[in-house]
Each structure stands twice: as structure tokens, then as C-alpha cells.
Amino acid sequence: MILVTGGAGYIGSQFVRYYTRCRPTEKVVVLDNLVEGHLEALDGLSNVHFERADIGDFENVKNILSKHRIDAVVHFASYCYVGESQENPSKYYQNNVAGSISLFRAMEECQVGKLVFSSSCATYGVPVQELINEEHPQNPINVYGLTKLLIEKILTGYADTKDWSFTALRYFNAAGADKSGLVGESHDPETHIIPLALKTALGTKEVLQIFGDDYDTPDGSCIRDYIHVEDLAAAHLLALDKLPTQKGGQFINLGTAYGASVKEIVDVCEQVSGKKISHTFSPRRKGDPARLIADASKAASYLGWKPQHDLRSIVETAWNWETKKRY
């Protein structure tokens, strides 16, 4: 049986939904403290056992691992606001790093040595090449990225000393929503460009700020590689299935290799919603590199993964969710 930490969060719950769709006879244990997660994200899933717990609660996690005879962990639980991590680094070190160490210690005691970890392209920092592959130097420029890098290193230590097999999946910009429209992105406060653009289309946000129009990009706005959450979910299942035959750690980018500018996002959001998105240009946001685009060839060769959703489909599913948002 697998344990999914952060399984009531945006990406974690999408993975749980995908897993139970693909493996309808298997049960999943979801561990979430519901600080950022939403119990409603698990609505309609019958094969899920929910445990409200914190990854840092060592005794509790140990009991959950042994009670459910867990043999692999998919570890999503994390704080993930780049801006907040700069203002309150201790919160991120405590939850993301110390919490993960506590989880790993519980896994070690229960002899669970298989794990898929949610890492991030934020571990790379400012790109030194057009397409970022897994060998790109890792020099994070914010605390959030640093916490993800530290956890990758800690896991490497477990692989070297305790024979763990793990895969760290480095996501680019997660976006979109489940095609059912039942689950999707719900952050408070929301800081991500696609939900903010769609809220502006809906009229629940007055004006969208575009941070910077003087970048060295064709239209002057920042370029990112947006990847649909369902594609992320599919990659996790492929990575999980590889673990029993995998030795040590693997690090894999998850992106589409297609970069979309902020202005392009606004255009696609206008097309999909059929509404004008009122926007202004503001100064650059601190810590935003001009472009972040994945070389996703390792995900294809190692996992046999190929994203199924393009930008249009990302925005369509996000719009479907935003217009009937339940939580």
C-alpha cells in the first residue's frame, strides 16, 4: 500500500485521483494536516483512507506506516510560496526540511525505503542555458528552492547508506485542473498567474498585474513552462512503478519544453473565457528569471512519459474549475 503525504493538496490530490482511477482495486492512505490541503479534494474517492496528521509528528507517522503496512511513499507535503519563503525562511526550513527528515526517520524505522518526491525547477536558480536539463547547476535563489534541494541531498544520503530507491521529480509550473471540474487549484492567497488571470476574467479580481515587460524575451514578459497537474500525476505513477527495480536516486524534470510568456497566458485566458482581462504592467517581481523551460527528455526516456495537455487544455480545465470552484 502507498502513503501519499500532502494528498489533499493541489497536486497531491490530483495524483490520488489519478492513482485510484488507474488502480481501482488498490487502496491509498492520504496523510495531510489540512493546513494548505482541502478535504473536499478527496470527495468521491472510495479507496482512500484519510489520516489527518503532520509529516513532522514522528510517532503518529510511524504508527500510520506500520498500521497500513506501507511499502512506498509519495511525498508532496510542503509549503510552496516562493515569496513567503523569503519572508519567513524558518517556516519553510521547519515544515519542508525538518518535517521531511522526521518522515524519513519514521520510514527508516519502519523499513520503508521507496519514495517519490515532489521537487522543483526552483532548485536550479537562474538558468545558464536555454533548456534546463537535470545536469544544470543547482543554485537556488530562494529559500523554497533551497528546501527542495536540501531534501534531494538528504534522500541521496539515504540511498547511499540505506539502499533507498527514490525519484525526485522537478516540476516546472504546475497548472490546470482535473477534467471532472471537481478538483483544482485553491490557494489562499492565490499568487499564480493562470488562476489570477481567470479570476480577472470572472470579475472576482479587478486588474491583473503583469510583473515586468522589459525582459529579454520576444514580448518582454517572463516565459515559463506550464505543465498540467494530470500529466504530473501520471509521471508520479510511472516513477512509483519503477522504484522496485531502481537502484538509488533519480532526478527528473517534468515540463513540456514549451515556454509561454505571461502575455501569451493572458491571450489564451481571454480566448478560453471569452472575456477581456483587464491588466496593467508593474515592475519586475524580485527573484523572477526571464525564462524557465524544461528539457524533459529524461522523463520521456527513463519513465516513458509524455505530457498529454497543451497550454490551451491547461487553461480550459483551469477555467472549468474556476467557474464552478467548490473550495
- List contacts with ligand UFG (CB under 6 A): 80, 82, 120-122, 144, 173, 191-193, 196, 209-211, 222, 224, 262, 285, 288, 292
Q: Which long-range contacts (CB under 8 A, 24 or more apart) does 280-284 make?
A: 280/207, 280/208, 280/209, 280/210, 281/209, 281/210, 281/212, 281/213, 282/209, 282/210, 282/211, 282/212, 283/211, 283/212, 284/211, 284/212, 284/214, 284/215
Q: Which is nearer to ligand UFG, 108 or 190 (CB)?
A: 190
Q: Which of 10, 19, 144, 215 is catalytic?
A: 144
Q: Which is nearer to ligand UFG, 116 or 292 (CB)?
A: 292
Q: Which is nearer to ligand UFG, 288 or 310 (CB)?
A: 288
Q: Which is nearer to ligand UFG, 81 or 164 (CB)?
A: 81
- To ligand UFG, the closest distance from the beta carbon of 67 in angstroms equals 32
CA angle 225, 248, 146 (to 5 degrees): 45
- To ligand UFG, the closest distance from the beta carbon of 287 in angstroms equals 8
93 carries an active-site annotation? no
CA distance 23 to 142: 37
Q: Which is nearer to ligand UFG, 107 or 254 (CB)?
A: 254
- To ligand UFG, the closest distance from the beta carbon of 215 in angstroms equals 8
CA distance 111 to 106: 8
For ligand UFG, the nearest residue by Cβ is 222
Q: Is 188 left (phi over 0), alpha (psi -120 to 50) or beta?
A: beta
- To ligand UFG, the closest distance from the beta carbon of 166 in angstroms equals 20
Q: Are 309 and 260 in contact (CB under 8 A)?
A: no
Provide the edge-to-edge strand list for the sheet that holds 291-292. 260-261, 223-224, 291-292
Q: Are 5 and 103 in contact (CB under 8 A)?
A: yes
- To ligand UFG, the closest distance from the beta carbon of 263 in angstroms equals 9
Three-state DSSP class for residue 105: helix
State the catalytic residues: 144
